[in-house]
């Protein structure tokens, strides 16, 4: 006659299995959050670089016979037409960073000169995750107008 108490799992087996599942779930969630922050940061970096390159290209092409530039604020950046940023102009295109991204810069505005595509002052833009200051990227805008990411 079979023993009816030999079926099923012991409490120890259930506790060990549950502990392993909780540990694996926690590690997966932490990895996903870290990956999401890095992707959000990279996405914002590439948006700024693309906008800077667009401003330089439009200036070199003399689109509208004007200069173009990009203004950097801690929570946003703005593409603008003209030799300096003017708030509220209809041609301005404003882009907001995600809620966890913060920007700092040595130069608040990068305006490109016609014909040469250079900028008056070279500068550095640093984007980082507000929740993790060690997770950051640096954009260099050289006096020649060339833009690089570190």
Task: Sort 100 into a burial class: Cβ within 10 Å, 0-12 / 13-18 / 19+.
Answer: middle
Range of the structural domain that residue 121 is part of: 42-149
pLDDT digits (tens, 9 = 90+) for 107-134: 999 999 999 999 999 999 999 987 777 8
| CATH number of the domain enclosing 60 | 3.55.40.10
Tell whether 35 is covered by a domain.
no
- What is the model's pTM? 0.83
Tell whether 74 is covered by a domain.
yes
Residue 1 has pLDDT above 60, yes or no: no
Tell whether 28 is covered by a domain.
no
Number of structural domains, the chain?
A: 1
Give the 3-state secondary structure of residue 34.
Answer: helix
């Amino acid at each position: 006659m079979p023993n009816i108490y030999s079926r099923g799992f012991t409490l120890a087996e259930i506790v060990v299995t549950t502990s392993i599942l909780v540990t694996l779930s926690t590690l997966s969630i932490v990895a996903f959050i870290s990956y999401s922050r890095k992707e959000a940061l990279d996405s914002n970096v590439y948006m700024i670089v693309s906008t800077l390159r667009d401003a330089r290209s439009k200036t070199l092409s003399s689109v509208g016979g004007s200069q173009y530039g990009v203004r950097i604020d801690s929570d946003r950046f703005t593409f603008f037409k003209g030799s300096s940023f003017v708030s509220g102009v209809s041609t301005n295109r404003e882009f907001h960073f995600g809620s966890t991204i913060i920007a700092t810069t040595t130069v608040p505005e990068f305006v490109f000169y016609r014909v040469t595509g250079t900028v008056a002052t070279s500068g550095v833009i640093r984007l980082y995750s507000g929740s993790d200051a060690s997770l950051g990227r640096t954009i260099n805008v050289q006096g020649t107008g060339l833009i690089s990411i570190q």
